[in-house]
A and B are shown apart, each in its own frame.
Chain A
């Protein structure tokens, strides 16, 4: 058993970077998540999109979807922004920064598929955007309740055991992250994956998963 609660959750902290009471830390858990976010962001930078083949049922015909250079540039930019937001959320030691990065993930996820000229994909992106936007209310509400009851948003401070974080605040924080694209709210997101451009589309599912994994650590820690 370790002294700090977070070390009993994600392993011993290997490196911590202090900004006043805000301490960004790398435990084996957050480091693993950070490396994966980094690896897929690099892949989004260096990979060319695939040419997605669609079969016309009832015959031998098929079509290939080709992404134009202009569309590819915009979507790659949004995928990189999504990767950076995910990396920030993985190592942030502050709940407010975490919620900001989470909101940015939601916005960039819509951006990754917004340039695709496909009615189904755009409808799904619109629906996902509404859910993600609504989810920011419990997300920031949870952070606000934590600040109001404890006077700090530092995960390091909150994990010291001197504060009692209300269960409702933890619940709201979790609900907000789930609304950004986890089950059962990912139904719209699954439709977004019809879009071509695998290196960028994969960032949509990866980023949601990573922030969900991080919020589990935060909720248990604080």
Chain B
């Protein structure tokens, strides 16, 4: 399990590197090498580390550990075929961790990053509508049951395409440099990450790598099905490149526009679910 955890982290970091490279090439820039995020993580691991004088010391350190802990748990849930509700609960709790990163330092940039993270909570609502749509078809939220359902009835991507689109929107809201990346906007320096440096930043990078791997893996598993690991990685890569295209070609929305777009997506999904229930 530890070996899988480490390889998932490095794969996730590599995918973030590929994401940056694809965006750069679309924008006619050379871009960083694809292993840049791995190098970042290793570099920060050996840089000098301290806690800002204004910070809430215990919280400042604890949120980094909680962030890594929840995504390790998410990886375990996905690989062991646990409840998809736990996975999405963890996705939502990641917002609280981001909030904690930002508020604990005392920095105004971190604080605004954290507050924006809470404001962008609307991205979570399409997620639960997605879950409701899945449940209507599979009558179970256990990942192994969902995979078994798809083995018999075909991919959920074809049965409930609007739910897959909502899930895609959820993934997009978590991708860096995307239209919904308001928490890391440059006017906030690095947003909630601003004051976390050295080993703490390496911890955040590990968390990001794991998060990217788990979310892409879960999206493929829930909407397409279970395949050998090489095929899973190929599908995750294809999904990632499509997300990179959207990120490269879309401007970052203002915080309120971001919330509005996600709210409209939620409203659309609710109408779709009501229609499904009425037809059933």
Interface residues on B, range: 35 or more
Cα-based distance from A1 to B70 in the complex (angstroms):
26
> CB distance A36 to B140 under 8 Å?
no
Q: How far is the CB of B114 from chain A (nearest CB, A)?
A: 7
Contact of B86 among A32, A186, A193 (CB under 8 A): A32
With contacts A183-B121, A186-B121, A198-B104 taken as known, whether A50 is within 8 angstroms of B55 at the C-beta atoms is yes
Q: A54 in the interface, Cβ–Cβ < 8 Å?
A: yes
Interface residues on A, range: 35 or more
With contacts A39-B66, A43-B58 taken as known, whether A32 is within 8 angstroms of B89 at the C-beta atoms is yes
> CB distance A47 to B56 under 8 Å?
yes
Q: B244 in the interface, Cβ–Cβ < 8 Å?
A: no
> CB distance A184 to B122 under 8 Å?
yes
Contact of B56 among A184, A189, A199 (CB under 8 A): A199
> CB distance B106 to A51 under 8 Å?
yes
Q: A49 in the interface, Cβ–Cβ < 8 Å?
A: yes
Return the chain B residue nearest A8 by Cβ: B140
Q: A213 in the interface, Cβ–Cβ < 8 Å?
A: yes
Q: How far is the CB of B268 from chain A (nearest CB, A)?
A: 15
> CB distance B103 to A198 under 8 Å?
yes
- The residues of A that contact B119 with a CB separation of less than 8 Å are 190
Return the chain B residue nearest A201 by Cβ: B103
Binds B, one of A112-120, A126-134, A146-154, A202-210: A202-210
- The residues of A that contact B107 with a CB separation of less than 8 Å are 53
Q: A78 in the interface, Cβ–Cβ < 8 Å?
A: no
Return the chain B residue nearest A209 by Cβ: B92
Return the chain B residue nearest A212 by Cβ: B92
Binds A, one of B8-16, B33-41, B94-102, B167-175: B94-102
> CB distance B86 to A29 under 8 Å?
yes
Q: B135 in the interface, Cβ–Cβ < 8 Å?
A: yes
Cα-based distance from A39 to B105 in the complex (angstroms):
19
- The residues of A that contact B201 with a CB separation of less than 8 Å are none
Q: A182 in the interface, Cβ–Cβ < 8 Å?
A: yes
Cα-based distance from A199 to B21 in the complex (angstroms):
38
Q: A71 in the interface, Cβ–Cβ < 8 Å?
A: no
> CB distance B96 to A55 under 8 Å?
no
**Which residues, 112 to 142 on B, are CB-close (under 8 Å) to A?**
114-115, 118-119, 121-122, 124-125, 128, 131-132, 135, 139-142
- The residues of B that contact A1 with a CB separation of less than 8 Å are 139-140, 145
> CB distance B89 to A33 under 8 Å?
yes
Q: A141 in the interface, Cβ–Cβ < 8 Å?
A: no
Q: Beyond the given A52-B106, A52-B108, A213-B92, could you list 18 further A-B residue pairs with CB under 8 A, ordered by the A residue number?
A: A9-B85, A11-B142, A29-B89, A32-B73, A33-B89, A48-B57, A50-B54, A50-B56, A193-B99, A193-B111, A193-B118, A198-B56, A198-B100, A198-B103, A202-B100, A202-B103, A209-B93, A220-B141
Residues of B within 8 A of A (CB): 53-60, 62, 66, 70, 73, 77, 82-83, 85-86, 89-90, 92-93, 95-96, 99-100, 103-108, 111, 114-115, 118-119, 121-122, 124-125, 128, 131-132, 135, 139-142, 145, 263
The 11 sampled A-B contact pairs (Cβ below 8 Å) are: A10-B83, A10-B141, A48-B58, A50-B55, A52-B106, A53-B108, A183-B125, A186-B121, A190-B119, A194-B111, A206-B93
Residues of A within 8 A of B (CB): 1, 8-11, 27-29, 32-33, 36, 39-40, 43, 46-55, 64, 182-184, 186, 189-190, 193-194, 196, 198-199, 201-202, 205-206, 209, 212-213, 216-217, 220
